[in-house]
Structure 1
């Protein structure tokens, strides 16, 4: 799995986006050229971040090592194994973003949770490893999730998308 640099985690956004988000969609793999669901090879856990301790702090079952410290996390709000769509796109500001479209059965759960936790971090965990812990910028009610950063390159965005889906 990919560990992203600490500087990215500090400024990442987890924000709602519309069905017609601006930018040019770029598939994450040849398989993404087709429309339809993408099955993650390993369940994706979304775990609320309780605190971030300095690097080298003691770890345990609810502590995940990140590049910039040890993330103390709450239990997962759910395991996500299927996405309606996964892709990357260049943003209007020149950075890159990962776009995830949740299936209808996950959309309501995610909408309810994000509406109560705006301004908090949510760890994206795959196979017990912290991939990234973006900040929730607004309630995500339509199931369209965008993780973006002006520092993301196309390669960084593609690598993160591949890590999420396996």
Structure 2
């Protein structure tokens, strides 16, 4: 059975750019809503209250399995080759206190990074195994040191101030 995790992001566009802020990963919608209410107290988030986005992300799924050949820019999550289709038989992840988020970010020039969101994993071993495999794929093998693996506590606000 597939498992998923809820992700809370905030996206806004002003006259200069579009920005995405990752607010956290959650195993419960009630906890997610409490964190959203907390973030709404901060400047920026309260100025763009319609910018919150709740996403279901399949656990232990790798996006970008075949590597890449072109630059996508700073918001790689908009260009994930396939969206997570969470079927009715799936369930929210249970019995975890943290997940391991994997991304690949390399600097193109001083004003632009190329970012790809690889996936969320239930263990460090699972995350690292997938990173090791991806390092053999086009694009990734040219930038093997640019993977970021981070342990992120569930049900916690990651953004602690306004913008």
TM-score, normalised with respect to structure 1? 0.25
Which has the larger strand fraction? Answer: 1
Q: Who wins on radius of gyration, i.e. which is larger?
A: 2
Q: Which has the higher contact order (CA 8 A, sep 6+)?
A: 1
- Alignment TM-score, normalising by the size of structure 2: 0.25
